[in-house]
Amino acid sequence: MIAVDTNIAVYAHRQDSPWHDRAKRRILELAEGNEVWAIPWPCIFEFVAVVTHRKIYSPPSTAEEAIAQIEAWIESPRLILLGEGDNYWPALKSILQATRVTGALVHDARVAGLCLHHGVKELWSADRDFSRFPKLSVRNPLLD
């Protein structure tokens, strides 16, 4: 299963992104494909926060546009939204102890933990910070 990080989702949504066409095409490949794919819940929250942020985009996406985009992805019959379950804490705790990340990087550890907990084989991200989590295979699909 491939999971999609926030930045790939943002680029796919924002037409003013220089990566828009590639990101949109890659997500469409997943959404229209035959394989199960995923978006971690924290990436959904962060997506809304980023695309609607006035200091990041001018004009920002409206809440309605962000919601419509998420609903379009959710319509993909093979999409799974990754959330914490009863046995998630040991996965996150192990990552936190092994990497000793703190501050804002705890968000990335949370995403990495969700991916590992749910058996994600590859996380698509343009964020090099995920290299801190050696058990998670990360690839930037925009550079292919």
**What pLDDT, in 10s, does the model give residues 37-61?**
999 999 999 999 999 999 999 999 9
- pLDDT of the residue at 81: 97
- pLDDT of the residue at 86: 86
CB atoms within 10 A of CB 90: 10
Phi, psi of 130 (to 5 degrees): -70, -15
- pLDDT of the residue at 43: 98
Domains and CATH numbers, the chain: 2-139 (3.40.50.1010)
Residues 12, 6 contacting (CB under 8 angstroms): no
- pLDDT of the residue at 91: 87
Least confident of 5-9, 91-95, 121-125: 91-95
